[in-house]
Amino acid sequence: MTVSASTQQVMIFRQPGRYGGWPANYGIWSWGDEIVVGFTTGFHSDEGRFHARDKARPFINVQARSLDGGQTWTVEDFPGARPGDRGLSADEHMNPGLHLAEVMDQPGATQPSPGGFDFSHPDFGLMAARAGLTTVRSFFYITTDRARSWQGPYDLPLFGQSGIHARTDYIIEAPDRALLFLTGHKDGVYEGRAFCVRTSDGGLTFDFASFIGAEPEPGAFAIMPASLRLPSGRLLAAVRCRAGDRKARRDVSWIDLYRSDDSGMSWQHLNRPVTFSDQGHNGNPGTINRLPDGRLVLIYGNRDTPAQVAARLSGDGGESWSDEIVLRAGGGNYDIGYPRTVVRPDGVVVTVYYFNDRPDGQGERFIEATIWRPD
């Protein structure tokens, strides 16, 4: 059962013939009412099938900035170094010849981290990114001026994995100490298992902390963790999961929630806040945030028919969850979601995602924000 919520939709990026996508692959950062979100832009094509994009043309990452808590936005070029001037974290959406992975071995493409970053800097942000999807190298950027410039890219180790799929998710623990949440290859060939790593020297080095949950079965995955630290010190991580026969489109998808009471050194399954009904759509990542009144909010793209962006609330630290709250209805098909969320100082929630709303699913993909205050 779904319940309604009073919401406001604000357009961030929409252009005929263009494809804006996947904020969860890049990140969102906020400093009071100043919010920055990353995403990527390419070109629409009806021949692109589910992801209706033109793979023969480049995807380039950009960012959008709001100075008024999400009411208005300005789209900006990404103000950092991109190896070969190619797009980050989007190789699977482009043909060979446009891939970032093809230029990663060029001199100076990335560099070792100098460390010494002050994670407590009031204007700090970190963005993680990757090149490739099957052959993967990952790296990160640092800002200390509210994403007006990004330092890097700095190399991330492989942590004993055959590939790392870095997307932006981290928890700051101290001025020189932070946890990064990542996804590694499973079975040596493709992404499939979430884990976390820790730096205790301002980003100079990183150490493997733990896997989040058991290794998924062959053909399944547990990816794209979204983390949160509670006032008690407990850590939560919402993980996007899939299992079943993908080739036959009989796979099922859900979001699992894990907890850690030892600073990320081990994790226990807490519950399954979201189970999707339709088969074959591969699921969607969630975001998890804490409201000023202590409730938690979990937001995700629901690719079940009818496609929509939705939320659930918890008043007991994630032990139980409300019915689904519809934030954005009217999806043209299930090529939607990948949200990132911030909570403003006044308790208003700002969630950014990609969406399409033409009934046949062939319209441009756009970036939108839903602004709402949970009842």
In the block, tokens 């409201």 appear at 291
pLDDT bin (cut points 50, 70, 90) of residue 247 is confident
- What pLDDT was estimated at residue 36? 98
pLDDT bin (cut points 50, 70, 90) of residue 189 is low
Asked if the model's pLDDT at residue 364 lies above 70, the reply is yes
20-39: pLDDT as tens digits: 999 999 999 999 999 999 99
- Cα 186 off chain centre by: 19
Which amino acid type is present at position 131? A
Asked if the model's pLDDT at residue 181 lies above 50, the reply is yes
3-state secondary structure 349-372: EEEEEEECCCCCCCCCEEEEEEEE
In the block, tokens 């070029």 appear at 77
End-to-end CA distance of the chain: 17
Q: pTM above 0.75? A: yes
Q: Calculate the dihedral angle through the C-alpha atoms of 87, 92, 95, 101, rounding to the nearest 10 degrees.
A: 60
User: pLDDT over 70 for what percent of the chain?
Assistant: 98
Query: 306 - beta bridge partners?
Result: none
Asked if the model's pLDDT at residue 13 lies above 80, the reply is yes
By the 10 Å C-beta count (0-12 exposed, 13-18 middle, 19+ buried), 165 is classed as buried
pLDDT bin (cut points 50, 70, 90) of residue 114 is very high
- What pLDDT was estimated at residue 48? 59
- Residues 25, 129: Cα–Cα separation, whole Å: 7
293-306: pLDDT as tens digits: 999 999 999 999 99
- What pLDDT was estimated at residue 4? 52
Which tokens go with 276? 């999707």
- What pLDDT was estimated at residue 248? 78
Asked if the model's pLDDT at residue 231 lies above 70, the reply is yes
Cis peptide leading into residue 292 (ω within 30°): no
- What pLDDT was estimated at residue 138? 95
Q: For domain 2-372, give the fold.
A: Neuraminidase (2.120.10)
The residues spanned by each domain of the chain are 2-372
Query: 182 - beta bridge partners?
Result: 195
Which tokens go with 79? 């103000």
